[in-house]
């Protein structure tokens, strides 16, 4: 399978099985927007919840936040995004098509061969007019969610009096007016981000940078992204964001090339100092001995859409089972959108259907994301569940009616085991927790 094939197969599976659809598709689609269908939103939320558990709720040093998407112009002026959040763009003199300068070679437009103009800097922030008088008050959809953490720094300090080091974390939408959205979920105009700002004493920034670097590798493993396909890149100074003194990109071998998946940045005390200057609010942290300083920041950032794509590319598998070709998603059970599917062996036998319904209802109370499936024959159901990454299929057959045991089929091996119905919930819960 070539890499282009793999990408086409992933996009097609996502649409066919209800993971991801083109945004506003019935009107021809809006470039750079994608809509998550029932299975996609389940997968995305499972990843987000896993991230939240791993980095926020299981820790004592992390404070959760859900800040507003629209923020006033002054925030972006202070943070430097009004000036610095730009990509170089070239426009074709003939067809007016715009490209990111780093995505075209030579002086001519790849589509119509027209002459490309000189590169101009293009700001990625989306402006919004607030209130009824156009232009009365300018806001922006947040281009990064980090600014929500910085503008709430003092609130968290005043409410919780945390000791350094501590972090403020959130996940949510970010918006960027990308010049050339492309590669499915990879470069879009509206996307979900999960990130935190970890506030430290300046003297300790390197220690915490290394700590979070390791934790990020731990996350890559726990979410089920192939570790061998992830590579660190030390971003050179001239390519770093305006606020960063050191950045490591975690790049992934996507089917369309090796590209940024996550970032880890040392933002110094740049943002808090700028907000302190612009707002006049004291952003200093006071030590017990009374000394005061503006803390420095380590920022691990995780694009959620890119995580979904890297997880799908890592999980997509084709093999042969029982002499038949099949496609399956080898997803970690913690993030699989459906954990278990329950079927009656035959759907025209009322006693089997009734028993299977009973098993289904009982299991739903014990584990999340259980699905009922009685469409087509059993082989088709297995194939369908394999394709969406369901780790376990439970079949209720004639033996169940006699001894209350069901079969549990493992997605990866196709092997089946008979389990007493009464033990099913506990068994799957234990597997899920493993």
Residues 48, 87, 178, 251: which binds ligand GAP (CB under 6 A)? 178
168 touches ligand GAP by CB under 6 A: no
411 touches ligand GAP by CB under 6 A: no
State the nearest-atom distance from the C-beta of 109 to ligand GAP, in Å.
Answer: 22
Residues 139, 167, 263, 391: which binds ligand GAP (CB under 6 A)? 263
* Token pair recorded at residue 52: 């939240």
193 touches ligand GAP by CB under 6 A: yes
Q: What angle do CA 60, 61, 67 make, to 5 degrees?
A: 110
Residues 303, 389, 391, 421: which binds ligand GAP (CB under 6 A)? 303
Q: Do 33 and 190 touch, CB atoms closer than 8 A?
A: yes
The whole-angstrom separation of Cα 44 and Cα 61 is 25
Name the residue whose CB lies closest to ligand GAP: 303
* Token pair recorded at residue 112: 């119509």
**Cβ-count burial of 233 within 10 angstroms (0-12 exposed, 13-18 middle, 19+ buried)?**
middle
191 touches ligand GAP by CB under 6 A: yes
Nearest to 200 by CA among 299, 58, 75: 299
Q: Do 338 and 42 touch, CB atoms closer than 8 A?
A: yes
305 touches ligand GAP by CB under 6 A: yes
204 touches ligand GAP by CB under 6 A: no
- Segment near ligand GAP (CB under 6 A); pick from 71-79, 296-304, 314-322, 425-433: 296-304
Closest CB to ligand GAP among residues 15, 100 = 100
Closest CB to ligand GAP among residues 262, 270 = 262
Site for ligand GAP in 64-123 (CB under 6 A): none
The whole-angstrom separation of Cα 279 and Cα 158 is 17
DSSP state, 135? T
144 touches ligand GAP by CB under 6 A: yes
Site for ligand GAP (CB under 6 A): how many residues? 18
216 touches ligand GAP by CB under 6 A: no
In the beta sheet, which residues pair with residue 141? 70, 126
Nearest to 17 by CA among 364, 331, 358, 344: 331
Chain centre distance of CA 345: 37
DSSP state, 293? E
Residues 7, 11, 75, 146: which binds ligand GAP (CB under 6 A)? 146
Pure H helices in 265-397? 270-279, 304-315, 350-366, 378-387
Residues 17, 142, 187, 409: which binds ligand GAP (CB under 6 A)? 187
CA atoms within 13 A on the CB side of 257: 5
Closest CB to ligand GAP among residues 44, 339 = 44
200 touches ligand GAP by CB under 6 A: no
- Segment near ligand GAP (CB under 6 A); pick from 159-167, 260-268, 354-362, 393-401: 260-268
The whole-angstrom separation of Cα 52 and Cα 308 is 15
The residue assigned the tokens 């700001």 is: 123
Closest CB to ligand GAP among residues 122, 328 = 122
332 touches ligand GAP by CB under 6 A: no
306 touches ligand GAP by CB under 6 A: yes
The footprint of ligand GAP (CB under 6 A) covers 144, 146, 176, 178, 187-188, 191, 193, 195, 260-263, 299, 301, 303, 305-306
């Amino acid at each position: 399978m070539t890499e282009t094939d793999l990408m086409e197969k992933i996009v097609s599976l996502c649409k066919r099985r209800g993971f991801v659809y083109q945004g506003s598709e019935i009107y021809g689609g809006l470039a750079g927007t994608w809509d998550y269908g029932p299975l996609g939103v389940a997968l995305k939320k499972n990843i987000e919840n896993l991230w939240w558990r791993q980095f926020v709720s299981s820790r004592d040093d992390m404070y959760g936040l859900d800040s507003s998407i629209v923020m006033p112009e002054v925030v972006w002026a202070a943070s430097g995004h009004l000036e610095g959040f730009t990509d170089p763009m070239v426009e074709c003199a003939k067809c007016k098509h715009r490209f990111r300068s780093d995505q075209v070679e030579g002086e001519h437009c790849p589509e119509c061969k027209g002459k490309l103009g000189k590169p101009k800097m293009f700001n990625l922030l989306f402006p919004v007019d607030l209130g009824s008088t156009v232009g009365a008050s300018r806001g922006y959809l947040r281009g990064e969610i980090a600014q929500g953490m910085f503008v709430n720094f003092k609130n968290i300090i005043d409410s919780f009096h945390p000791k350094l080091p501590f972090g403020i974390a959130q996940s949510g939408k970010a918006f960027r007016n990308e010049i050339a959205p492309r590669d499915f979920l990879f470069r879009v105009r509206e996307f979900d981000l999960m990130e935190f700002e970890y506030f430290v004493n300046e003297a300790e920034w390197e220690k915490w940078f290394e700590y979070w670097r390791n934790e990020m590798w731990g996350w890559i493993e726990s979410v089920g992204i192939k570790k061998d396909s992830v590579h660190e890149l030390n971003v050179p100074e001239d390519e770093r964001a305006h606020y960063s003194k050191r950045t490591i990109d975690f790049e992934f071998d996507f089917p369309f090339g090796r590209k940024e998946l996550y970032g880890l940045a040392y933002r110094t005390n740049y943002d808090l100092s700028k907000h302190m200057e612009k707002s006049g609010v004291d952003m200093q942290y006071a030590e017990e001995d009374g000394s005061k300083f503006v803390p420095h920041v380590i920022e691990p950032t995780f694009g959620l859409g890119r995580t979904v794509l890297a997880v799908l590319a890592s999980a997509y598998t084709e093999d042969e089972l029982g002499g038949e070709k099949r496609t399956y998603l080898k997803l970690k059970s913690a993030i699989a959108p459906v954990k278990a599917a329950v079927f009656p062996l035959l759907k025209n036998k009322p006693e089997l259907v009734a028993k299977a319904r009973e098993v289904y209802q009982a299991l739903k109370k014990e584990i999340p994301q259980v699905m009922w499936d009685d469409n087509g024959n059993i082989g088709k159901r297995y194939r369908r569940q394999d394709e969406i990454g369901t780790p376990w299929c439970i079949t209720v057959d004639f033996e169940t009616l006699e001894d209350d045991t069901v079969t549990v089929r493992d997605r990866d091996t196709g092997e089946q085991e008979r389990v007493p119905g009464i033990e099913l919930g506990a068994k799957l819960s234990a597997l899920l927790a493993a």
